[in-house]
A and B are shown apart, each in its own frame.
Chain A
């Protein structure tokens, strides 16, 4: 049982709620990948880039584990797939693996950035961050064109806007 991993995921769920978002598994995958790409904290999950953007088998595994002992519960929402909430064993996780302040604040910044967006946007931002981190493409034009080649149904304009938003986030991070 890896309580540190659970603690990171639990924090992401909490932070999304505190920013007014109802997080699903998709939000958690994208937020963790985004945090890794932006180098905000050490994220101990491996990701692959597949057709719906960055995805982690590890995260899927750990979320299922957390659900199995009620650290996380999945509630119903008529408009979204299952919304994740902290469950009755959330306190146990926090007690077993408390996070440092900088880790919580890193996750919080990512969740704030990704909250109140459509899932298509969340995917777009996470994919843009992935490209800039893994493929070392930082030029907004090149980034947009790579995004568009991966997701042809996203317009060039949206791809440019997505790339710019991510690079702005990155600049704010560097500025501290």
Chain B
């Protein structure tokens, strides 16, 4: 400070308005309907302002679900902000709680204050950027429209390594390693090329974990809010405040467990997920829109695939696809007019068969049999099908009891122990054939189930 100038003098001048005083703002916040506010710093703001992140404003979170649920117009943009907020809260909850000596010894290096702050930043950045490689309309066409070996996680890594994001991450001092962000953001269960350290695996689980992942907590809350169904409403603060680091007795590794006081919040999360999947994510009309969209894109895209060149990739959003759809729809001579009409004109295929558990028990191959029958009877071009395999969410997490011992959640909670699995199998036909096809399919199913009993 120059000689003769004191803070007292500065403050007097300020109060009198003699000088203008400005200080660069380092903390920022935006309102969010789910979490109240999302807070972020300068580095995070620079990333939010980047072109790849701004693109997420034009990627619908739930693809074309708005055709069924008009409120489902939210995007990956606000979801990723929400995940960053939740991930930070989980980190704070877990590392401000008292850690056992064994855990403390195991991660003593990472617990150094400057290291811990670095990893908190990495986790929040990974949360913010984890969906940056999403295709237009999110998951609707990922498997079919990306070349073999590619998915949105790999695309995310590609963009992080090559775009302006890398520069932004490496700019501050100390800088953030891009590969650290990728390791934490990329669900390790889907990654065959890397073995993460136990520490990174833990952070990865905080973000992508099946049971308590920040991604899941945010999407359940956000999707249910926008869709307008009450199933996804859970108590995130109670859950997050009850998360603790434990040593998993099964394998001796550090894992996330939950304090007994938060077990009901954990149950609510698991139930919310079940109902959201059954009622919203696998709604039959929503699924057929995905299929029609995929059919259209397979024709529009060069060689039926999205580019894997990251610059070409980030140039495509839902808006470009919707423009193409509307153009083809408005021109009856366009070669894709019929496909576009399925979506824009709402002439989507209609459901004629839905797999149910008793059918599969009686005849494990029933879905494939129905699809084959429909294709042979009505022509393959008039039939579409969708299948989501059963996925037992075993929810093998540990609960810290009042006495401090660990108990399996399934021992304490009958909700956790008995959570049903779900499986989706759907067969659709052209709307012009629906009335003819439905009774025929019903009759075929009845006969096939009878035959299976005698096999």
Using a CB–CB cutoff of 8 Å, the interface residues on chain A facing chain B are 1, 25-26, 48-53, 57, 61, 63-65, 67-71, 74, 76, 78, 81-82, 88-89, 92, 119-120, 123, 151-154
B365 within 8 Å of A by Cβ?
Answer: yes
Q: Is B439's CB within 8 Å of the partner chain A?
A: no
Is B195 touching A69 in the complex (CB atoms < 8 A)?
no
Selected contact of B421 from candidates A51, A53, A68, CB within 8 Å: A68
A52 to B368, CA, bound (A): 35
Complex contact A50–B394 (CB within 8 A): no
Contact of A119 among B250, B391, B423, B455 (CB under 8 A): B250
Are B392 and A89 within 8 A (Cβ)?
no
Q: Spot the interface stretch: B21-29, B118-126, B356-364.
A: B356-364
CB of A52 within 8 A of CB of B251, answer yes
| CB nearest neighbor in A for B455 | A92
Find out whether the CB atom of A74 lies under 8 angstroms from the CB atom of B392.
yes
In the complex, which residue of chain B has the Cβ closest to the Cβ of A46?
B192
Q: Which of A51, A68, A71, A74 contacts B253 (CB 8 A)?
A: A51
Contact A50 B421 (CB under 8 A): no
Majority-rule SS of B interface residues: loop
- Subset of 24 A-B contacts with CB under 8 Å: A1-B364, A1-B365, A1-B368, A49-B195, A52-B251, A52-B253, A64-B390, A64-B421, A65-B390, A67-B392, A68-B360, A68-B421, A68-B423, A69-B361, A69-B364, A70-B361, A82-B410, A89-B364, A119-B250, A119-B251, A120-B251, A120-B252, A153-B252, A153-B253
Per-position 1/0 for B390-416, Cβ under 8 A of A: 111010100000000000101100000
Q: CB-CB < 8 A to A70: which residues of B?
A: 361
Residues of B at the A interface (CB closer than 8 Å) are 106, 188-189, 192, 195-196, 198, 201, 250-253, 357, 360-361, 364-365, 368, 389-392, 394, 396, 408, 410-411, 417, 421, 423, 455
Give A153 to B254 CA distance when docked, in angstroms: 10
**Known contacts A70-B361, A81-B408, A92-B364: A123-B392 contact under CB 8 Å:** no
Residues of A within 8 A of B252 (CB): 120, 151, 153-154
Name, among A65, A123, A153, the residue most crowded by chain B CB atoms within 10 Å (CB to CB). Answer: A153
A71 to B410, CA, bound (A): 23
Q: Are B394 and A81 within 8 A (Cβ)?
A: yes
The residue from B251, B389, B396 contacting A64, defined by CB atoms under 8 A apart? B389
Q: How far is the CB of B290 from chain A (nearest CB, A)?
A: 21
Contact partner of B390 among A48, A67, A76, CB < 8 A?
A67
Taken together as a complex, chains A and B put the C-alpha atoms of A52 and B361 apart, in Å, by 33
User: Smallest CB-CB separation from B190: which chain A residue?
Assistant: A57
- In the assembled complex, the Cα of A131 lies from the Cα of B253 at a distance in Å of 19
Bound Cα distance from A119 to B198, whole angstroms:
18
> Measured between alpha carbons, how far is A48 from B193 in the docked complex, in Å?
9
Residue in chain A with minimal CB distance to B362: A69
Q: Which residues of A contact B251 (CB under 8 A)?
A: 51-53, 119-120, 123
Residues of B within 8 A of A119 (CB): 250-251
Instruction: List chain B residues, Cβ under 8 A from A51.
Output: 196, 198, 201, 251, 253
Give the docked Cα–Cα distance between A49 and B188 (Å).
11
A25: which B residues are within 8 A, CB to CB?
A: 394
Task: Report the separation of the CA atoms of residues A50 and B188 in the bound assembly, to the nearest whole angstrom.
Answer: 8
Q: Are A81 and B396 in contact (CB under 8 A)?
A: yes
Ranked nearest first, the 8 interchain pairs of A and B with the lowest CB-CB distance are A68-B390, A69-B364, A64-B390, A153-B252, A69-B360, A119-B250, A52-B251, A64-B392
